Amino acid sequence: SWNLGEWAGIGVYMHATFLLIIGWVALASWLQERTLTAMAGAVAFILALFACVVLHEYGHALMARRYGIATRDITLLPIGGVARLERMPDEPRQELWVALAGPAVNVVIAAALFAWLLVSGLMVPIEDLAVAGGPFLERLLVVNVFLVAFNMIPAFPMDGGRALRALLATRTDYVRATQIAASLGQGFALLFGFVGLFTNPFLVFIALFVWIGAAQESSMVQMRSALAGIPVADAMITRFQTVSPGDRLARAVELVLAGSPHDFPVVAGGAPVGVLTRDDLMVALQRQGQDALVGQVMRRDFLSADSYDMLESAAARLQSCGCHTIPVSHGGRLVGLLTMDNLGEFLMIRAALGHPRDSLRREGRMAA
């Protein structure tokens, strides 16, 4: 992604594939009209449309900021924009406002355009509009109305789905509310897919998008609730091998061949100082050979957790960093490792035991 700039302290990025859309629009308009002005007009329109999408995302981000939630960045993708909030609000009422703030921005833009067109007398009947024909601002108005309608479809991952979940969550618990909203979303997806088969293939694509979004949201919330209130110490791996910055890579190779999983915590004086990932190890072996030192290859900017942290937040960190392993320490000493695999196993065992609120490993927790 390329950085387009920063406004209100939030960086805006454009994904590389976005250029494809601009290229496609330019080409399509050239093939149809064969004039440079028409092509420039079409590209300007797509840019204006995506400016409205960016403003929509700012709606979410600035409303979230009111509740003390920061936004990492806003990225433009060919299918729309994504504002990466640091977390979703826990309070249903706040989630409702954050979800509605995006579409509300498009309502405001549409209303302003409508007022301007009315005052200036530039409005033409809606039947006379075409994808590339008719007043620029009126087409932008129609697109904003479409953005509101599309985003308010009550299905994940659309804003409407989040708003619906938030409304339900004021009456029932969060997991149940998510399940209802997700099922409804998948119902919508089926309907879209079915209608799309006979009318517009694009609807089938949206249906797929909605179906996957609903399934993801529902499993994520289920996992979050299964992990809530459990300390990291209960789920972490406590039997593992470490390497030190002064070790040669040969030592890590030995451990891998002896059956150590994936990534190694690098420890100096009992404290974690880095992580040697399997991928980095393989690359380093190829470039530098077995005699290179672990300290030259390890990652120093790694995430970690405390054994008394809650699993819910540690799991979120593990997911967001895209890393496989995070070291768990307590009082400055390495006491365990948390990996996606062992989190999955932990959840599976809890589900099998059917006692989601019992601690599985009290002894382990004491020792940690």
CB-based contacts of 33-40 (< 8 A; 24+ apart in sequence): 33/132, 38/132
Q: Which is nearer to Zn ion, 153 or 294 (CB)?
A: 153
When the beta carbons of 140 and 338 are compared against Zn ion, the nearer one is: 140
Helical spans, DSSP H, in the chain: 18-33, 36-66, 92-120, 136-151, 159-169, 174-198, 201-227, 249-257, 278-288, 294-297, 311-321, 340-353, 362-367
- The nearest distance, CB 60 to Zn ion, in angstroms, is 6
Nearer to Zn ion, 158 or 182 (CB): 158
Residue nearer to Zn ion on the CB measure, 159 or 234: 159
Binding segment for Zn ion (CB under 5 A), chosen from 97-105, 276-284, 310-318, 324-332, is 97-105
Task: Give the interface segment with Zn ion, choosing from 45-53, 156-164, 310-318, 319-327 (CB under 5 A).
Answer: 156-164
Q: Is the CB of residue 347 less than 8 Å from the CB of residue 327?
A: no
The residue whose Cβ lies closest to Zn ion is 102
Q: How is residue 172 written in tokens?
A: 């029932």
Rounded to the nearest 10°, the torsion over CA 23, 29, 30, 34 is -160
For 177, residues 6+ apart whose C-beta sits below 8 A from its C-beta are 92, 165, 166, 168, 169, 171
Closer to Zn ion by Cβ: residue 30 or 209: 209
CB of 362 to Zn ion, least distance (A): 44
Residues 6+ apart with CB under 8 A from 107: 144, 148
Chain center to CA of 166: 19
* Site map 45..84 versus Zn ion, x via CB under 5 A: ----------------------------------------
Contact between residue 90 and residue 64 where contact means Cβ atoms under 8 Å apart: no
**Residue from 159, 217, 234, 247 that binds Zn ion (CB under 5 A)?**
159
We find the least distance from the C-beta atom of residue 71 to Zn ion, in angstroms, to be 12
CB 148 → Zn ion: shortest distance, Å? 10
* Total number of residues that touch Zn ion (CB under 5 A): 2
Q: Are 46 and 62 in contact (CB under 8 A)?
A: no
Among 13, 63, 102, 236, binds Zn ion (CB under 5 A): 102
Amino acid letter, 4: L
Please give the structure tokens belonging to residue 309: 């942290």
Stretch that binds Zn ion, among 130-138, 159-167, 219-227, 306-314 (CB under 5 A): 159-167
State the nearest-atom distance from the C-beta of 53 to Zn ion, in Å: 9
In the complex with Zn ion, the residue whose CB is nearer, 102 or 231, is: 102
Interface contacts to Zn ion, rule CB under 5 A = 102, 159
